């Protein structure tokens, strides 16, 4: 499955056009390698997505062409979520 489609179907990113933009800006890594919107992802791949001040690392658990809101979170497991930038005291 294409990276941009997976991000949209799994609801990690809400719109496919936004997923494509984020990938084209170099803010997504697939197993530590730079990912493009057209990159193919498979079960077991590890994605690192930089969204604003957050960096989310997730493992792909399953692929499906469509999903309902309740099913979307079952497509991946969040391994790590961190904030970048300045810490507030």
Q: What pTM did the predictor assign?
A: 0.86
- Parallel, antiparallel or unpaired: strands 46-51 and 33-34: unpaired
Whether 54 maps to a domain, the answer reads yes
Local confidence band at 70 (pLDDT 50, 70, 90 cut-offs): confident
pLDDT tens digits, residue range 12-67?
999 999 999 999 999 999 999 999 999 999 999 999 999 989 999 999 999 999 88
Structural domain includes residue 8: yes
Distance CA 48, CA 26 (A): 11
CATH number assigned to the domain comprising residue 69: 3.10.290.10
Q: Is the pLDDT of residue 89 over 70?
A: no
How far is Cα of residue 1 from the mean position of the Cα atoms in its chain? 13
Q: Spell out where the chain has E strands.
A: 28-30, 33-34, 46-51, 54-60, 76-83
Least confident stretch, 54-58, 74-78, 84-88: 84-88
pLDDT band with cut points at 50, 70 and 90 for residue 86: low
| Number of domains the chain contains | 1
In a domain, 85, yes or no: no
Which class for 52: exposed (0-12), middle (13-18), buried (19 or more C-beta within 10 A)?
exposed
Structural domain span for residue 71: 1-80
């Amino acid at each position: 499955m294409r990276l941009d489609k997976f991000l949209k179907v799994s609801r990690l990113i809400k719109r496919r056009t936004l997923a494509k933009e984020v990938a084209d800006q170099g803010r997504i890594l697939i197993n530590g390698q730079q990912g493009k919107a057209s990159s193919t992802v498979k079960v077991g791949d590890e994605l690192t997505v930089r969204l604003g001040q957050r960096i989310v690392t997730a493992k792909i658990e399953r692929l499906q062409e469509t999903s309902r809101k309740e099913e979307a979170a079952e497509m991946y497991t969040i391994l790590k979520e961190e904030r970048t930038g300045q810490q507030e005291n």
